[in-house]
Structure 1
Amino acid sequence: MYKLADDNTPVKALRRLEIQTDKSHVFAEFILNKQHFALLYGSIVDEESIDELWTERPDNAEILPNPLDPEFIETPFQGKYVIMFKISPTKVRLDIYLSTKFDTTISRSLWQKYIKAGYVSVNNKVVTTPKFEVDETDEIALNLPEKEQADVDLPILYEDDDVIVVNKPSGLLTHAKGGLSDEPTVAEIIRPKTSFATDTDRPGIVHRLDRDTSGLLIIAKNPESAAHLQRQFAERTAKKTYIAITDGKPKLNAAKIDLPIGRNPSAPSTFRIDPNGKPAQTTYHVLAENDTQSLVELKPTTGRTHQLRVHLAHLNAPILGDRVYGKSSDCRMMLHAQKLEITLPSGERKVFEAAVPDEFKKFFPRGFIDV
């Protein structure tokens, strides 16, 4: 009747048909020949009832005239009435469209990475530009990589309405490193529990541990808690204690290392002692030792990237298993975030503790009486 289709129109020209019904009306939305339409059909359909029947009617929905009598908007059909709408397309960026219309559990930043990696097609053509504009009439196809389905044990040591404290195992990333990550991360595991930074690949994360470092991480469950925790890390009122086994022995049993750290220009992903770098302080105390190794307690007062690893390597006692700043080894990097003292958003000051892993005790079976 509206001459939008005829007997020669192929079935595949109709897409995304969505139908809602109640006792007296049918509402349908669909794409036909790359144009967006909607219709109301029922025993009573008039201009006054449209807003009531279509509560989410967009501003760009234009009523098509009655093809039998242009002076009226409702068209009689099979004893009832029809009103037809043409919805003008609204262009939006591809990454925004995917993050709002497809899977809202995937952050916009991750959608951008998927697009740049060539996993998204628009109208049968691969698009690699996140700002490419699309609308609801475009055919969008996804060929996303399958994420590794690993059964990761992430022990939760404490949880309330504001924070989660976990004991991160060695080998698990805190968050994706900027590129696509097909492996589990702490951030993705806890994503359903937080409303902070959910449009990024670091939901809930306010501080981090290196992949091979185990131990305590505190996670924010909302933006207000994140600001509260981040302020304490920035102002150094959060107190952290680490346990490490060194490959070699520091000359002094206890000391404060006060050496600035900067990025290594010859290897930009690593750091080094640099007079022009940022201030970095670490207090250490040797708990036990053997002929070639030491069991060390470390208390950083600053939080520079790789700080403990760089400081101990400078003492010719790199952390055992540190493949970057020490020697290759068959064991994991023997660094563990054992204690965290911090004030919760509730105002309570708490000390959290993660038991030292058993692999540490194999090197120093008698060194953990007081640890």
Structure 2
Amino acid sequence: MTPPFDPARQQASTVCLPPGNWATVLDCLCDHFKAIDRAQWLDRFARGRVLDAQGQAIPAELAYRRGMRLHYFREVPNERPIPVQEAVLHEDEHLVVADKPHFLPVTPTGEYVEQTLLRRLIRRLDNPHLVPLHRIDRHTAGLVLFSANPQTRSAYQRLFPERRIDKRYQAIAAAMPQHEFPLVHKSRLVHGEPFFRMHEVEGADNSETFAQVLETQGDLWRYGLSPVTGKTHQLRVHMAALGAAICNDPFYPELLQVEDDYQKPLKLLAQSLRFDDPLTGEERYFETRLRLDW
């Protein structure tokens, strides 16, 4: 069941109204977001789910003004529950570390709003200030680091673009005796078709992964993967490019149009995070409690 609306505990999407000749804010939103019908927007206005820049609910008949900044709350009617459970591994004044199970998105996207790690943690910890400092794919399980305090958020956010955080993953995929490990794979990744799939193209490298073999079991090997860069689906694309797509990957090397099969999760796990705390200088290390079985 979708919980009752509480704007203090939900994160809004933001839009600046584009140039146009609309009479009202409602007219502009209906034309700008064509996938949402007028009746749905009217319902959102009636329930106070469209706010101005100051966070005050506005009426649907409010006159349009170019550049007006609005906040609105995404909703998915009859959102399907995802039958998996996250775990909180660490919580302090500044950081929350969670173990995300396979299939659970980190943030609202597409058909998922309430059934996301962020929304679940906001409700569970009663902290509307939670913001993910990085993201992992919906199909990937493992560690996700959240900022819990807006005053210190930027210090932790800088860890990622400045590459001051060590991220390690595990994956299970086909054996690759044709390669000598450990190895480094570099390539240029760009968005392909459909838009959410990445692929390698010619050009200057913009992605880099360190790979090693941790364990072997017949035709399957367990790999340790360390992404030097953080491109979308980087580990999944790089493993497929090397000749061994990660087990149960529905996107690579080919796109499979299949429903989620909770018995066959992607065999990719965000295993550990290590960094020097930007506030105290102490080393911080977190490791998932989840495991990849063969």
User: Which structure has the larger Rg over C-alpha atoms?
Assistant: 1
The Cα of 1:186 is off from its aligned counterpart by 0.7
* Paired residues for 1:247-286 under 5 Å: 247-249=174-176, 251-264=179-192, 266-276=193-203, 279-286=206-213
1:116 is paired with a residue whose SS is: coil
Residues 309, 318 of structure 1: 8 Å contact kept = yes
Q: Which digits, 9 at most, give the CA deviation of each residue in 1:174-198, with x for residues without a partner?
A: 1122x452551011012244454xx
Q: 1:344 aligns with which of 246, 267, 277?
A: 277
Query: Over residues 308-366 of structure 1, what are the superposed CA-to-partner deviations in whole Å (9 max), with x where a residue is unaligned?
Result: 01111100111111111147696211000111002335422211011342xx33x2xxx
Q: Could you say if the C-alpha distance between residues 161 and 106 of structure 1 is closer, same or farther in structure 2, counting changes exceeding 3 Å?
A: closer
Structure 2 contact 105–138 (Cα < 8 Å) conserved? yes
- Partner residue, 1:185: 116
Unmatched 5+ stretches in structure 2:
16-28, 63-74
Task: For residue 249 of structure 1, report the CA deviation from its aligned partner.
Answer: 1.9
Paired amino acid for 2:88: I
Change over 3 Å in CA distance of 1:310–1:105 after alignment to 2: same
Aligned-pair identity in percent equals 25
* TM-score relative to the length of structure 1: 0.57
Q: Deviations 1:270-310 (Å, cap 9, x if unpaired)?
A: 11112236611111111122342211001111111111011
Q: 1:110 to 1:276 in 2, by over 3 A?
A: same
SS state at 2:265 partner? coil
Contact 2:42 2:60 in 1 (8 A): no
Offset, 1:215: 0.6
Using a 3 Å threshold, how does the CA distance of structure 1 residues 130 and 221 change in structure 2: closer, same or farther? closer
Which residue, out of 148, 161, 175, partners 2:93?
161
Q: State whether structure 2 residue 287 is matched by structure 1 residue 353.
A: yes
Residue of structure 2 in register with 1:134 after alignment = 59
Q: Does 1:309 align with 2:240?
A: no
**Cα RMSD (Å):** 3.6
- 1:223 Cα offset (Å): 2.1
1:140-181 CA-partner distances (Å, limit 9, x unpaired): xxx98355566752211111000100111111111122x452
Q: How many residues align?
A: 243
SS of structure 1 residue aligned to 2:104: coil
State the Cα deviation string for residues 59-86 of structure 1 (Å, max 9, x = none).
Answer: xxxxxxxxxxxxxxxxxxxxxxxxxxxx
Deviations 1:96-136 (A, max 9, x none): xxxxx9844344328988x93542437x99xxx99996289
3-state SS in 2 of match to 1:336: strand
Q: Does the 8 Å CA contact 1:319/1:326 hold for their aligned counterparts?
A: no
Q: Which amino acid aligns with 1:116?
A: I
The normalised TM-score by structure 2 is 0.70
Q: Does the CA contact (< 8 Å) of 1:168 and 1:215 recur in 2? A: yes
Residue 105 of structure 1 aligns to which amino acid in structure 2? R
| Gapped regions of structure 1 (runs ≥ 5) | 1-100, 138-142, 197-202, 364-371
Aligned position for 1:318: 245
Q: Match for residue 69 of structure 2?
A: none
Distance verdict in 2 for CA 1:294–1:155, change over 3 Å:
same
Partner of 2:102: 170
Cα shift at 1:219: 0.5
